[in-house]
Amino acid sequence: MKKTLLLTSALVSSIALTSVANAEVKGSMKLGYGFSDGASNDSTDAGTQGLLRETQIDMSTTGELDNGWSYKANAAFEAEEAAIDHGEGTYIEFSSGDTLIHFGQDGFTNLDDSATPTTGSALDTIADIVNTAYSRNPTSPYTSAGLGISQKTPFGTISALYVPQVGDNGKGTLTADHKAQDIDGKAAYEVKFKGNFGIDGLNVVAGMNDRKLDTDDAATDGTRDGQGIVYGASYNFGTFAIGASYMEDEKESGTTTENTEYGVTFAPSDKISLGLAILKHESSAATVDEDTKLLTVGYNLGPIALELNYADVENRNVVSGADVTGASINTSVKF
């Protein structure tokens, strides 16, 4: 009996070591320099100047289950500031044919998406050079722990996500709320379609989410349930692409924001891509709109990508007369 136990332990250890050895580790690193010049409301709102850094490491393993299904387990670490986001991309997925089931947080398709063509980074990431209010994400709950399911069809992928507690990352930090204050509240769901309807070159994104307030807490005047919508389309003609996207977020605070983007890209070669974009941010709490114009250039150096970005903003953060310009040089490395 003892020998059997020893053999079993050795076998388990061997399997564990094999799994670690077969795990795929992927990552990316961005390093660059950004600066801005223009009106500043006060000493704490002076734009961006200095080195920019982003580090992302993903660890994943895939395989086949005894019932014929496939699985993928993923964990990630993201470091952009002083703290490490250890809740980034932590999930396990099971798939069979065109059906996928997702448990965890982050990593699932969501409304932080856009059909607008770009030359590299997302348009709102580029706009962050000058700290704009523009955001393409209508408060998607995908960063909270939840359950998702997606189904591929001949026209595109349809997905649905349910989150029982918005803000819950599974660490247990909201344990007290789970037992008392918010046990019936803060649930959210999100549905999305992304596909081409069978037309080569077409890209369509559309979806919505609904976020419930805490039902066990006394709601203050002006608060409400939150809702978000996204829709957009683009068409790629080969070296030339054009598209637009719209995002609306009815926030729980009672404020509604609308974000619209238009973009066009041109790739004269497989090494160089050029892009122009216009972004508009509107808020029901402001009397002016924020307007941003972007010029982007991407250059492919093989394992390293180089991005040159320029932004011109009127009424930054929906403040009248706060006009700002800025630029950045970014390098991106994937491994």
Residue at 205 is within a domain:
yes
pLDDT digits (tens, 9 = 90+) for 67-78: 999 999 998 877
Could you tell me if 71 and 94 are in contact, meaning their C-beta atoms sit under 8 angstroms apart?
A: yes
pLDDT digits (tens, 9 = 90+) for 287-323: 999 999 999 999 998 889 999 999 999 999 899 988 8
Q: Which helix (H) or strand (E) holds 334?
A: strand 324-334
Higher pLDDT, 324 or 182: 324
The residues, ordered by sequence, that sit 6+ positions from 127 with a Cβ below 8 Å of its Cβ are 134, 279, 292, 294, 311, 313
Mean pLDDT of the chain: 83
Strands 50-64 and 99-105: unpaired
| Radius of gyration for the alpha carbons in the chain, expressed in angstroms and rounded | 23
Give the mean model confidence (pLDDT) for residues 189-200: 97
Give the mean model confidence (pLDDT) for residues 198-211: 97
pLDDT digits (tens, 9 = 90+) for 239-277: 999 999 999 999 988 899 999 999 999 999 989 999 999
What pLDDT score was predicted for residue 1? 42
What pLDDT score was predicted for residue 12? 38
Sign of CA dihedral 8, 14, 20, 22: negative
What pLDDT score was predicted for residue 111? 94
Q: What are phi and psi of 153, to 5 degrees?
A: -130, 170
Residue at 244 is within a domain:
yes
What pLDDT score was predicted for residue 118? 93
Q: Looking at the predicted structure, is the pLDDT value of residue 226 above 50?
A: yes
Residue at 2 is within a domain:
no
What's 121's domain CATH number?
2.40.160.10
What pLDDT score was predicted for residue 321? 87
pLDDT digits (tens, 9 = 90+) for 28-77: 888 888 877 775 554 455 455 677 777 888 888 999 999 999 999 998 87
Mean pLDDT is lowest, of 14-28, 32-46, 102-116, for: 14-28
What pLDDT score was predicted for residue 163? 93
Domain count, the chain: 1
CA atoms within 13 A on the CB side of 40: 11
Q: What are phi and psi of 245, to 5 degrees?
A: -145, 150
What pLDDT score was predicted for residue 123? 92
Alpha-helical runs (H) found in the chain = 2-22, 123-127, 175-179
Residue at 30 is within a domain:
no
pLDDT digits (tens, 9 = 90+) for 150-183: 999 999 999 999 998 887 776 655 455 455 454 5
Residue at 155 is within a domain:
yes
Could you tell me if 187 and 147 are in contact, meaning their C-beta atoms sit under 8 angstroms apart?
A: no
What pLDDT score was predicted for residue 332? 86
What pLDDT score was predicted for residue 225? 86
Higher pLDDT, 212 or 262: 262
Ramachandran class of 198: left when φ > 0, alpha when ψ lies in -120 to 50, beta otherwise: left
What pLDDT score was predicted for residue 335? 80
Residue at 209 is within a domain:
yes
Q: Looking at the predicted structure, is the pLDDT value of residue 121 above 90?
A: no
Residue at 43 is within a domain:
yes
Residue with tokens 């993928």: 72
Q: What are phi and psi of 9, to 5 degrees?
A: -60, -40
Q: What is the DSSP letter of 135?
A: -
Higher pLDDT, 201 or 8: 201
User: Which of 137, 134, 136, 129 is closest to 295 using CA atoms?
Assistant: 129
Separation of CA 293 from chain center:
22
Give the mean model confidence (pLDDT) for residues 1-11: 40
Residue 246 domain boundaries:
35-334
Residue at 201 is within a domain:
yes
Among residues of the chain, what percentage have pLDDT more than 90? 52
pLDDT digits (tens, 9 = 90+) for 132-151: 999 988 999 998 989 999 99
Give the mean model confidence (pLDDT) for residues 212-222: 58
